[in-house]
């Protein structure tokens, strides 16, 4: 813990009796009614206002991430809400706890690979190196592959297309194209760039650092969870899900022991 500064400060917000300031900008005069939620998200996190093209791409990434149906994260949130309806925040928190390394978190892994390609002297060679390494180790390639969206993930295609249309596409979008080519050549078949792969590239070219990219997934999914919990309030699924799970995972004597 010796690396912590003796006197840390915060530069995010300050307030007085007459206003609140986010990074020095008046919340009441210059943000509320002047800027979209997406613009202020970017501004609060990164300390600079996005261009309108960057803002359009951030919007697109958040929209693409928001909703994926009855995922494990949504199921956890709904089960929690119907068990503890006194605390909507608890159900949202339970859902977000599943936004981890296995699903949405693959953005981070892909962003790290793109960083390697971007930083390499010879990007194409580095992309091939990554593909060969993963093939040899038989490990999953974060940002690539999808069980149902074949041959291509339509969300990824749309996001990358939009990045070109808006002239946001730059080094990270080029890196994922290079990586995709290298992967197809190395594996001898086409493996789609999936939604989290495209988002990693687009966020990278919008200036979002890899270490906070997962945060955009959390914001988008938080919104998605609220919609599911409003539906759960009106049409509870707890009983149906619970009974289905009990049938799907029956009791069997002695087989689960350590």
Q: 8 by DSSP, 3-state: which?
A: coil
CA–CA gap between residue 91 and residue 197 (Å, rounded): 28
CA–CA gap between residue 235 and residue 178 (Å, rounded): 47
**Nearer to its own copies among residue 122 and residue 231 (C-beta):** 231
**Nearer to its own copies among residue 122 and residue 161 (C-beta):** 161
Cβ partners under 8 Å of residue 214, min gap 6: 99, 104, 105, 107, 108
Closest separation between CB of residue 40 and its own copies, Å? 5
**Nearer to its own copies among residue 69 and residue 188 (C-beta):** 69
**Nearer to its own copies among residue 129 and residue 241 (C-beta):** 241
Closest separation between CB of residue 137 and its own copies, Å? 16
CA–CA gap between residue 250 and residue 146 (Å, rounded): 29
Ordered DSSP codes for 63-87: HHHH--SS-HHHHHHHHHHHH-TT-
Closest separation between CB of residue 136 and its own copies, Å? 19
Instruction: Answer whether 163's CB lies under 8 Å from 173's CB.
Output: yes
Closest separation between CB of residue 87 and its own copies, Å? 4
Ordered DSSP codes for 183-231: HHHHHTS---B-HHHHHHHHHHHTT--HHHHHHHHHHHHHHHHHHHHHH
**Nearer to its own copies among residue 129 and residue 187 (C-beta):** 187
* 25-26: strand order across its sheet: 13-15, 20-22, 25-26
Instruction: Answer whether 62's CB lies under 8 Å from 38's CB.
Output: yes
Cβ partners under 8 Å of residue 19, min gap 6: 26, 27, 28, 29
**Nearer to its own copies among residue 106 and residue 186 (C-beta):** 106
**Nearer to its own copies among residue 125 and residue 240 (C-beta):** 240
Closest separation between CB of residue 25 and its own copies, Å? 11
Closest separation between CB of residue 1 and its own copies, Å? 6
Structure tokens at 135: 């093939």
Closest separation between CB of residue 131 and its own copies, Å? 21
């Amino acid at each position: 813990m010796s690396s912590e500064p003796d006197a840390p400060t915060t530069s995010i917000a300050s307030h007085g009796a007459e206003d609140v300031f986010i990074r020095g900008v008046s919340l009441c005069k210059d943000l509320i009614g002047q800027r979209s939620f997406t613009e202020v998200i970017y501004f609060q996190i990164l300390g600079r206002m996005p261009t309108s093209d960057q803002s359009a791409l951030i919007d697109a990434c958040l929209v693409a991430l928001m909703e994926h149906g009855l995922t494990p994260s949504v199921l956890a949130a709904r089960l929690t809400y119907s068990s503890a309806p006194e605390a909507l925040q608890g159900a949202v928190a339970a859902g977000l706890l599943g936004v981890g390394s296995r699903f949405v978190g693959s953005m981070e892994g892909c962003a790290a690979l793109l960083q390697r390609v971007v930083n390499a002297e010879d990007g194409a060679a580095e992309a091939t190196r990554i593909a060969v390494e993963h093939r040899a180790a038989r490990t999953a390639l974060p940002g690539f592959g999808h069980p149902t969206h074949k041959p291509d993930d339509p969300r990824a295609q749309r996001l990358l297309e939009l990045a070109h249309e808006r002239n946001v596409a730059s080094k990270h979008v080029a890196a994922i194209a290079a990586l995709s080519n290298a992967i197809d050549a190395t594996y001898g078949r086409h493996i789609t760039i999936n939604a989290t792969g495209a988002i990693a590239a687009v966020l990278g070219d919008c200036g979002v650092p890899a270490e906070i990219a997962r945060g955009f997934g959390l914001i988008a999914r938080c919104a998605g969870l609220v919609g599911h919990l409003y539906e759960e309030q009106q049409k509870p699924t707890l009983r149906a899900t619970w009974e289905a799970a009990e049938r799907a995972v029956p009791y069997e004597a002695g087989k689960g022991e350590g």
